[in-house]
Amino acid sequence: MKQRMLCAGVLAVWLIGSVPSLAAEEMAAPTVAEAREFLEQAEERLRDLWIISGRAQWIASTYINEDSQILAAKMDEDVIRAVIELANEAARFDGLDLPDDQARMMKKLKLALVLPAPNDAELTAELTRIKARMEATYGSGKYCQGDDCRDLTELSRLMAESRDPEALQDAWSGWRTISPVMREDFARYVELGNQGARELGYDDLGNMWRSNYDMDPDAFAAEVDRLWNQVRPFYEALHCYVRAQLNEKYGDEVQPASGPIRADLLGNMWAQEWGNIYPLVAPEGQGEAVDVTALLVAAEADERAMVRYGEAFFSSLGFEPLPDSFWEKSQFSKPRDREVVCHASAWSLDFQDDLRIKMCIQITEEEFTTIHHELGHNYYQRAYNEQPILFQDSANDGFHEAVGDAIALSVTPNYLVKIGLLDEAPQGGSEIAPLLKMAMDKIAFLPFGLLIDQWRWKVFSGEFGEDDYNASWWELRQKYQGIEPPVARTEADFDPGAKYHVPANVPYTRYFLARILQFQFHRSLCDAAGYEGPLHECSIYGSQEAGERLHEMLAMGSSRPWPEALDALTGSSEMDATAILDYFAPLKGWLDEQNAGQSCGW
C-alpha cells in the first residue's frame, strides 16, 4: 500500500508545546469580531508559511542533498512553531458563540495537531526526542546475520517472491528484531501524548484522533465497527479459500486446513495485502486479467503519454485540462544526475493552480493505475482551491485517498477499449480471476486497516497496558485478520513497532475508510453516468453527469462536515460498505461454492 504525500490543506503538525502566557489584556472576554480577525490573520500567515514550506519540501524530494534537507527542516520548524502558537491562541475563543464557518476553522486549527505534547518545555523536548528516535530506529532497521544485513526492502522482496516456509519465517522474524528497543520509548510516548491531549480537553490521544470526524468519538468508533461488520463475511470467505489453497501448497505441518493463517505465508511483511501470492491461489478456467503492461508497451507509451491518458480521463468528465505548469514542473521520471524520492505523490504548491505529481514512472499496469489515482488528488486540490486555506483539505482524511482509488476503479477493459489500448473487452464468464486478484489486496487489507488504530485507541485509553502490548496486538490480529505468528511471541517482543505508522505516529483508520468509500463513490458515480450492468465492469469515462456530481463534492473541501460532502456525491450521509459487496458479487458467489464443505472461520 502506497502512502502519498498531499501538499495541500492543513499540514498535519504532530507537536504542540509550551508557548508564552498571554498578556492580561489578551485574556479579556473575546468577541466574534476578534475571532474573525484572528482567523483572517492566521489564514494569511499560514498560507505564506505553507507555500514556502511546500516549495522547500519539493526541492528536498527532487534534489536530495544536505543543503535541501537543512532548508526543508528549517521551514518545517517555522510551520510547527506557527501552528503551535495559533492553536494555543485559538483556545481563547472556546465557549464563544461563533458562526458555523468560524467555529469549524477554530476546530481545524486545534485538530491539525496529531501528537500534542504537554505544555511544559522539558516534556515537549523529551517527546520530540522519543518520536525522532523511534522513527530513526525504524528507518535504519536491518536484520543482520553476521556481516549479512538486509533492510526492509530486501526482506519485503523475499516475502513477496519466496515460497520457502523456512526462509519466509526467518525474514518475518528477522524484521521484528528491530522493534523491541522501541518498547520503553513507546510507553513514554503514550504517557506524554495522553497528557498533552488531556490538557487540550480530550480524554486521551485516541479520543482526540476520533474527534476529527465530525461526530462523537465513541460514535465514530461504533461506526467503524458497523462498517467492518458489513464486509466481514466476505473477508471470511476469502480467508477460507486462501487458507485451503495454502494448505494444499504447503501441507498441514506448515499451514493447517483450519484455524488462523500463518502470517508469513501471505506475501507481505504485515499480511496486510495478499496480492503477491495470487499465483498460488489463481483459479483455473476462470479467465485472466487483461495485461495492461503489454498494451502500453505495444502502444509505445512513454511517461508523459501515461500521464496524458490520466488527464484525458478527467477531461472526459468535464474537468479543465491541467495547467501548463503541471507539465513543466512535475517529476515524471527519475533523473540521471541526482537522487530523488520516487514514492508517488500529488502536490499543490500554491493552493491554487501550481499542481504537480512526483513519480519515477515505469511503463507498467500498476503505474498506469497509480497515475489515475494521483491525478485524483490533484483535481481534488484544484476543485477546493477557492475555499479558505483551513478548508483546503478533503472532507475527512479518508476522502482524499478514496477519490483517487474510485477513479482507478474505472480503469476497466471497457475503458481501455475506448482509449484505443485494447481492441475488445473480454466477454462474460471471465470475471472471477481479475476480481480475485483485486480482492487479494483490497479486501484482504480491510481488517488490517481497522486494527492498527483499534490497538492504539485501547493503549491510549489504558485498556491495553504496557505489560501486554504484544499479547494484545496478536489478540487483535487473530480476532480481525485470522492470522497468527509463525513463531512464538512474548512480551520481550514489540511487534507493533515493526509497522511504520506506529513509531511514526501516523493515524491509520483513514486507510480503512478509503477502502470503504472508494466503492461507495464508484457506485454513485456509475449511477450518475446512467450505467446499467455489473458494477465491476463500470467505467465513468466520458460521463459529464458523473463529473458534475464529483466536482460538487470535491469543491466543498472540508468546509462542511463529511456527511454533507458524502451526501452531495452519493445522496446518502452514511458511509456504506455494501458497494463492496455489489462490486465483488460474482466473486463472493464463486468463493461460497469453493468453500462448500470447508470449516471456515478461525
| Residue 374 is a catalytic residue | yes
User: 3-class SS at 337?
Assistant: coil
User: 3-class SS at 528?
Assistant: helix
Q: H or E element: which one contains 453?
A: helix 432-461
Catalytic option among 273, 303, 367, 374: 374
CB atoms within 10 A of CB 18: 16
Distance CA 441, CA 432 (A): 15
Tell me which residue has cell 499496469.
365
Q: Which three cell numbers stand for residue 418?
A: 475506448
Q: Count CA within 13 A, CB hemisphere, residue 490.
A: 1
Backbone angles phi, psi at 113, to 5 degrees: -95, 115
User: 3-class SS at 209?
Assistant: helix
Cβ-Cβ contacts under 8 Å for 108 (sequence gap 6 or more): 10, 390, 391, 558
Q: H or E element: which one contains 466?
A: none
Distance CA 567, CA 575 (A): 10
| Residue 344 is a catalytic residue | yes
Cβ-Cβ contacts under 8 Å for 455 (sequence gap 6 or more): 464, 472, 473, 476, 496
Distance CA 213, CA 512 (A): 14
| Residue 401 is a catalytic residue | yes
Category of 95 on φ-ψ map: left (φ > 0), alpha (ψ -120 to 50) or beta? left
Q: Are 123 and 489 spatial neighbours (Cβ–Cβ below 8 Å)? A: no
Backbone angles phi, psi at 124, to 5 degrees: -60, -45
Q: Which three cell numbers stand for residue 435?
A: 476480481
Catalytic option among 77, 161, 219, 343: 343
Distance CA 472, CA 457 (A): 12
**Length of the chain in residues, anyone?**
602
Q: H or E element: which one contains 149?
A: strand 148-150
Q: Which of 224, 12, 36 has the alpha carbon at shortest distance from 111? A: 12
Angle at 199 between CA 195 and CA 202, to 5 degrees: 85
Distance CA 427, CA 434 (A): 13
Cα 157 → chain centroid: 21
Catalytic option among 90, 344, 346, 498: 344
| Residue 415 is a catalytic residue | no
Catalytic option among 239, 377, 522, 536: 377
Distance CA 446, CA 511 (A): 9
Catalytic option among 213, 235, 480, 511: 511
Cβ-Cβ contacts under 8 Å for 602 (sequence gap 6 or more): 239, 258, 259, 260, 261, 478, 482
| Residue 501 is a catalytic residue | yes
Q: Measured between alpha carbons, how far is residue 545 from residues 281, 518, 530, 533, 564 in Å?
A: 39, 18, 9, 18, 19
Distance CA 595, CA 240 (A): 7
Q: Which of 96, 217, 105 has the alpha carbon at shortest distance from 559? A: 105
| Residue 463 is a catalytic residue | no
| Residue 551 is a catalytic residue | no
Give bridge partners of residue 144 from the DSSP assignment. Answer: 149
Give catalytic residues, as residue numbers.
343-344, 373-374, 377, 401, 501, 511
